[in-house]
Structures are given as C-alpha cells and as structure tokens.
Amino acid sequence: MKYLAKKLKRFFYRCVITLSAGWLLACSLAPKIPVVADAPIEALVTREATNILSAADARADASRYRFQLSPFPRPDLLGLSIGGKQIYISYRLAQLAAQSNYYLWMLRQTLAHEIAHELAGHATDSRPQHRSVEGGVNAAHLGLPALVRFENYSIEKELQADMHGIEYWARLGWDCAIWIDILINFQRHGYSGDLFHPTDRRLKLASATCAAQKSFPD
C-alpha cells in the first residue's frame, strides 16, 4: 500500500502505429491490453463506475461501457481511457479498494477522471496530442508490442477531466475535500506528478473547484 501511495501517476494515451513509410495509422488497444478476470473485484469497479456515470450523464447507458481490470506492468499507472467507452483500471488499485476505504476513494477519483475523459471525447479529438516524454509510459508498461507508441492528453485535458470529476462527486454528495486530501497525500509522500499530471496544479484546481462548490452549492 505504501508503495502505491508514494508512486501514483496517471497516463492517458492514444495509440498509433508508426509505419515504415512514416505514416501514422490509428489502432485499437482494446484487444491487446492484458486483462484479469476477477468477478468480485469487477463487480466492485462496475458498481462504482455505474454510480458515477449516473451522476455524470443521466442519459448515459452504463451497459455500453466496458470497465476492465489490467495488471499494468507499471505499478503507478492507475487508469486508462482509450475511447469507445472502454476504460481500464489498475487491478492492484481495485484490489486495495476492496480492502481499504482510502483506496476506495482513490478508485472513485480515478473512475471519475477516466469517465470525464470519455464523456469529453478526448480520445477521439482530432487535434494533435503530446508525444510521450522521457519517463512516460511505453508499450511494455501495458504489455503491448514495441511498435505501439503513445501520446499524452494535454495538461489542459487532464485538468478538465479532474474538474468534471469533482463535479460528478458533488452531484453524488461526496465531499470534495477527500479528493483534495488524496492529492495532499501525494505531496506528503514526495510525489509531484509529471509534465501532464503535476500534483501542484491538480491540487490548486481541486481546491478552487471545491471552494466554489461550497460557496455556491446547487
């Protein structure tokens, strides 16, 4: 648990195959990302995700979404949104969520963030994304072939997903202070995030969004 708490990082990527001629061909990650079958843990994730979806979009059909567990080789990868209503969640995080209230809230934070990416259509946005930088996730971190490379969502999209995720929490009556406490705990353990997920900017946004909600409740 301590290791996961100290090394928490999210990466959200689009997949492209680089051909020998230099052309880029979009591809689907769904058939390739390794997944784990664990009925009780899957039920937990699906239940939490369905609850968040109901608050995020009353018109959303939860049955059209797929929430799968992946044993990401990289332990600090918590969630992955690939478009097409397909979301992967760290199997380790989900296991911990079944045992610990702290990690249950972290799972809810991760799901809200990923669902926000899906509803915003970030994976299908035709505007250029940002290529992985040094230290970013590579194909091996997901158990994918080496010819697959990834592009980060922009920091603007990452912060937007956080903001919408906090809004979903508010509609469910969940205290946004818990979201803030998770980010503070990141800093307490020396985790500053990365170029696209800077903990300080995420914390600043969460604090401002939370304060606004408390000042002007629905």
pLDDT at 98: 98
**Distance (Å, rounded) from C-alpha 106 to C-alpha 93?**
8
Residue 86 main-chain phi, psi, to 5 deg: -115, 125
Q: How far is CA 149 from CA 52, 142, 146, 154, 193, in A?
A: 30, 11, 7, 16, 21
For position 1, what pLDDT does the model report?
Answer: 38
CA angle 108/162/196 to nearest 5° reads 115
Q: In which element (H, E) is residue 144 found?
A: none
Residue 70 phi, psi (nearest 5): -130, 135
- Give residue 25's pLDDT: 30
- The helix (run of H) or strand (run of E) holding residue 150 is strand 148-152
Q: How far apart are CA 29 and CA 5, in angstroms?
A: 27
**Over its length of 218 residues, how does the chain's per-residue pLDDT go in tens digits?**
333 434 433 333 344 433 222 223 333 444 478 999 999 999 999 999 999 999 999 999 999 999 999 999 877 789 988 889 999 999 999 999 999 999 999 999 999 999 999 999 988 865 545 555 555 666 777 788 777 766 778 889 999 999 999 999 999 999 999 999 999 999 999 988 777 788 899 999 999 999 998 776 65
Q: What residue spans define the domains of the chain?
A: 2-154
Entry pTM: 0.82
